[in-house]
Structure 1
Amino acid sequence: MNFPEVQKDHDVNAYANADLIIKAHLDRSEIQMLCKLVEGLGHLGVVTTTDKVLGEVMIQTTKHCWPELKKNIEMMPIEIEFMK
């Protein structure tokens, strides 16, 4: 990739708007399955458990990968609620 604006201005971070963190809630017994399924999708995202007791996770991805990752997660055999 070529980012000419970065080459001209060193104060511009070309990746500043690329990162995306999605918080979600699911049954705690399904957290491990979600982690394994997302890991199997390659580099679309990473799942981190934020509260094991409440079943809260954080999905780290990019704005570009999120639509494909979300579609795949919604097709998985788990119930998940994306939080704002």
Structure 2
Amino acid sequence: MKIVLAVLYATLALAACTPTTRTVGYGSGLEPIPGSITYGGQPRTKLTKAPVGSIVPHHFFDRYGYRVYETYIIEPDRSLRLTSRRIDYDVFDH
């Protein structure tokens, strides 16, 4: 009986372990959130020196204090396309 309880507790402990980040990936129709580079429209300045297809990383804290990592790609018209977002929910990091 003790072994069954030990296995049950171990299973519950492992089930309680959840990742502290959430990644929203490619092609999912990401919308900018407050703090995103493209929130409220494209930036006023054009990225003229960066090659088309370049990756632009960006990180910021959202309104809840979680760290947000975003990745953009420079399009042929020099606009930025949001391709991925990762939110770090680990409260011990900040």
Q: Same fold (TM over 0.5)?
A: no
Greater share of residues in helix = 1
What interval of TM-score do these two structures reach, taking the shorter chain for normalisation? 0.3 to 0.5
Bigger radius of gyration: 2
Report 1 or 2 for greater relative contact order, CA contacts < 8 Å, sequence distance ≥ 6.
Answer: 1
| TM-score normalised according to structure 1 size | 0.33
| TM-score normalised according to structure 2 size | 0.31
